[in-house]
Amino acid sequence: MIVTYYGKQFFKIQLGDTVIAYNPIGKDSKNKTSRFGADIVLSSLRHVDFSGADQCAYGEKVPTLIAGPGEYEVDGIFIKGFGTETTYEGEKKWNTVYSVVFEGINLCFLGSLAKSDTLSREVKEGLGEIDVLFAPIGGEEMLTPADAYKLTLALDAKVVIPMDYEDGKGVLETFIKEGGANAEKMEKFTFKKKDLEGKEGSVVVVTAA
């Protein structure tokens, strides 16, 4: 599995010929976007920063869009979405936390989660055993670095990938210090299920493409 990061909460997940895009940045966003073909697009919040599904229709690939709570199955990929209240740019909105089980690997995307206590026990149980957790750490309207790390421990994730933070503000460094260990930094995170065995809350920083 290959994980590529494009800034904000925009990720490309690829395994073989199958591509999943998470929270693609829309062309009208003030943030830089990228374009590639995807089979599935997950959007956690209705905003141009996270709902640019048109950026992932390319060549012969026209993605299936999933944008909200519920249970879904697309070509053998099982997806669960859990709704949580949040605030974005001063407005109250609904955010969807996704669990994606892809070839036996459970990927959990927190989206624009504002407070860790918005995840009920039922939601935490529904997320299952998390292999890779994508967590916003930018603070203010999102989780602070400290809260984000505490949540990764509560969710018992094997690997956590921080997202949605600004370089140069010390947020990433604070998040890493919370874990008490150095993080692995790489341009792309390439791994197999067996590579995650024995890991507990390991931090992997994927640099934005």
Q: How far lies 52's CA from each of 43, 70, 97, in Å?
A: 8, 20, 18
Helix 171-178 × helix 145-155 angle, to 10°: 40
SS3 content of the chain, % helix, strand, coil (to 5): 20, 35, 45
The number of helices, as runs of H, and strands, as runs of E, in the chain is 3, 14
| Dihedral sign, Cα of residue 133, residue 137, residue 143, residue 146 | positive
* Nearest CA among 71, 84, 157, 164 for reference residue 116: 84
User: Please, which pLDDT band fits residue 196 given cuts at 50, 70 and 90?
Assistant: very high
Q: Provide mean pLDDT across the span 127-153.
A: 88
Residue 136 pairs with which residues in a beta bridge? 163
Share of the chain above pLDDT 90, in %: 72
User: Please, which pLDDT band fits residue 209 given cuts at 50, 70 and 90?
Assistant: confident
- Please work out, in degrees rounded to the nearest 5, the angle formed at the alpha carbon of residue 101 by the alpha carbons of 97 and 106: 75
Q: What are the pLDDT digits (tens) for 105-132?
A: 999 999 999 877 778 889 999 999 999 9
Contact 108, 133 (CB under 8 A): yes
The Cα 183–Cα 202 span in angstroms is: 7
Contact 44, 35 (CB under 8 A): no
Q: Provide mean pLDDT across the span 121-146.
A: 89
The Cα 40–Cα 207 span in angstroms is: 23
Q: What are the pLDDT digits (tens) for 28-51?
A: 999 999 999 999 999 999 999 999
Average pLDDT in the chain: 92
Which CATH number is 2-206 given?
3.60.15.10
Q: Provide mean pLDDT across the span 10-29.
A: 96
Share of the chain above pLDDT 70, in %: 96
Q: What are the pLDDT digits (tens) for 66-99?
A: 999 999 999 999 999 999 989 888 888 999 999 9
Domain boundaries, the chain: 2-206
pTM of the predicted model as reported, rounded to 2 decimal places: 0.94
